[in-house]
Amino acid sequence: MLVLGIDSSTQSTKALVVDADDGEVVAEAKASHPDGTEVNPAAWWDAAQSAIAEAVQKAPGRVEAVSVGGQQHGMVALDEQGEVVRDALLWNDTRSAPQAEALVERHGAKELATRTGLRPVASFTITKLAWLAQNEPANADRVAQVLLPHDWVGWKLAGQPERTWTDHGDASGTGYYSPTTGEWLPDLLADALGGRSPKLPTILGPGEKAAVATLPGIEGATIGVGTGDNMAAALGLGLEPGDVVVSLGTSGAVFAPAEQPSADQTGTVAGFCDATGRYLPLVCTLNAARVLSSTAQMLDTDLEGLSRLALSAEPGAGGLSLLPYLEGERTPNLPEATGTLTGLTGANMTPQNLARAAVEGMLCGMADAIEALRDTGADVRRVLLIGGAARSEAVQAIAPGLFGVDVDIPEPAEYVALGAAKQAAWAHSGAAAPPAWEVAGTRREVGDDTTGPAVRAAYARARNQVHGI
């Protein structure tokens, strides 16, 4: 039996057709999304249709089930007719930072963390709705329903039926959901939206069937509940206790499976749910893969060239440290920040050192995130490195020393789409648990580079010097 997994992430939609017996990928396709932090969801739908049509056309048989993993938190506001009220504000749009602060002031960080598992930052949906209410009240008046990106794409696959739905994983990134009760918190939603109370999607359980597809090429296929992209990656990787994932896409996301919900009132660790009925504490930065592509552009080279340059420099980049806050930052919470390069001298200002500082700077943020997870009780026995920038040889070689732990690099693959495919197979089977597919070709890089702590200390000094933290 064939199943289809969709990853509707920040930069693109990926579609994988997978053999449900063993998880083998038999066909795949990809279509780009526009740049920017506000996007008309129609662009995701165009990309989904194109990637699905191509993948299905290459597939050796009929697709029986489909599921969508999507970039988390994006605000998809719909009117009474089901039309989008305005472009979606994405997880990496920082305009709602003042509204995040105001929510914390009004309710208190402890109360919000206890109720929602989160301390609001600009990424979370609730702050975007508060921004809408304050800045575009006429649009806020038209909001009849709020969905997340994966909810919306799944609903389009089903031909926009009366019922909308979501899952616990993606719901846990809104700021108006309780990970402890598994229910919406409509009072917080109404509070953010200036007293307005739009409808919310039905929250379905992890392996449930949500609907049936109407899209030509996959008509009649079972639609699984879908989830956030990080929850889908966790499902695709089949994580064990002691595993921590570092996902280097547009965002740098670090997460680990957990049996209990978490509530970090400092806001470093977001207390999300996963896609299996458990939990997924997660630390996220706004600056990962694009730090490397921007640096490559600055050095007039490509991503392979950047990797070669970085590997030809000494650890520590001759004394350069890059604070890579190119898009502002979420962790640490510095929405207005820009990037900073410190330690420049006439001798160290080489392309090699600049390339190395970019890779080290991005990875130092991930190393801090691993430590933050450890501080909340996560048992870090190995790190799995995934996402677009995990394909970089320099990243693969430099990460273990900075993380101070062995790093496993699974065969480069689309683990979000694979997790979505697994969820589709689960929904179609009606089984109590998802299928256990093996992750292909994992390679280990050993974390025994003794220069890592000094590089991290230099990075921490630079951050303290520039931002006082």
**Residues with Cβ within 8 Å of residue 453, at least 6 apart in sequence:** 404
Beta strands in 251-402 (DSSP E): 252-255, 270-273, 279-285, 321-323, 340-342, 382-386
Residue 166: which of 146, 143, 189, 186 has the closest Cα?
146
The full length of the chain comes to 469
Minimum CB–partner distance for residue 16 and ligand ADP (Å): 13
- Tell me whether residue 47 or residue 427 sits nearer to ligand ADP (CB atom): 47
Sign of CA dihedral 121, 234, 327, 324: positive
Q: Does 308 bind ligand ADP (CB under 6 A)?
A: no
Contact characters 173-192, ligand 5SP, x per CB under 6 A: x-------------------
One-letter amino acid at 20 equals: A
**Cβ contact 164:110 at 8 Å:** no
**What's 405's DSSP letter?**
S
The CB-of-10 to ligand 5SP minimum distance in angstroms stands at 3
91 binds, among ligand ADP, ligand 5SP, none (CB under 5 to 8 A by kind): ligand 5SP
Q: Work out whether 292 is an interface residue with ligand ADP (CB under 6 A).
A: yes
Catalytic residue among 229, 264, 368, 449: 229
Residue span binding ligand ADP (CB under 6 A) among the ranges 9-17, 92-100, 135-143, 425-433? 9-17
How many degrees, rounded to 5, is the angle at CA 306 between CA 305 and CA 309?
A: 85
- Shortest distance in whole angstroms from residue 348 CB to ligand ADP: 23
Rg over CA atoms, the chain:
21
Q: Is 249 a residue that touches ligand 5SP (CB under 6 A)?
A: yes
72 touching ligand 5SP, by CB under 6 A:
yes
Residue 301 as a binder of ligand ADP (CB under 6 A): the answer is no
The answer to whether residue 13 forms part of the interface with ligand ADP (CB under 6 A) is no
Contact partner, 292, from ligand 5SP, ligand ADP, none, Cβ < 5-8 Å per class: ligand ADP
H or E segment to which residue 69 belongs: strand 63-70
67 binds ligand 5SP (CB under 6 A): no
* 253 contact choice in ligand ADP, ligand 5SP, none (CB below 5 to 8 Å, kind-dependent): ligand 5SP
70, 271, 281, 387: residue in contact with ligand ADP (rule CB under 6 A): 387
Cα angle 429, 147, 175; round to 5: 100
CA angle 213, 237, 376 (to 5 degrees): 115
The reply to whether 21 belongs to the active site is no
Cα–Cα distance measured from residue 172 to residue 96, given in angstroms and rounded to the nearest whole number: 19
Show the 3-state SS of 379-392: CCCEEEEECHHHHC
Q: Binding partner of residue 123 among ligand 5SP, ligand ADP, none, CB under 5 to 8 Å per kind?
A: ligand 5SP
Residue found under tokens 């280097």: 248
Binding pattern for the stretch 265-294 against ligand 5SP, x by CB under 6 A and - elsewhere:
-----x-----------x-x----------
Task: Phi first, then psi: give them for residue 211, nearest 5 degrees.
Answer: -170, -170
Query: CA 253 to CA 247: how far, in whole Å?
Result: 5
In the complex, which residue's CB is closest to ligand ADP?
388
Which residues in this chain contact ligand 5SP in the complex, by CB under 6 A? Answer: 9-10, 71-73, 91, 123, 173, 228-230, 249-251, 253, 270, 282, 284
Positions at the binding site for substrate: 72-73
Catalytically active residues, by annotation: 229
User: Interface residues with ligand ADP (CB under 6 A)?
Assistant: 9-12, 249-250, 289-290, 292-293, 303, 387-389, 391-392
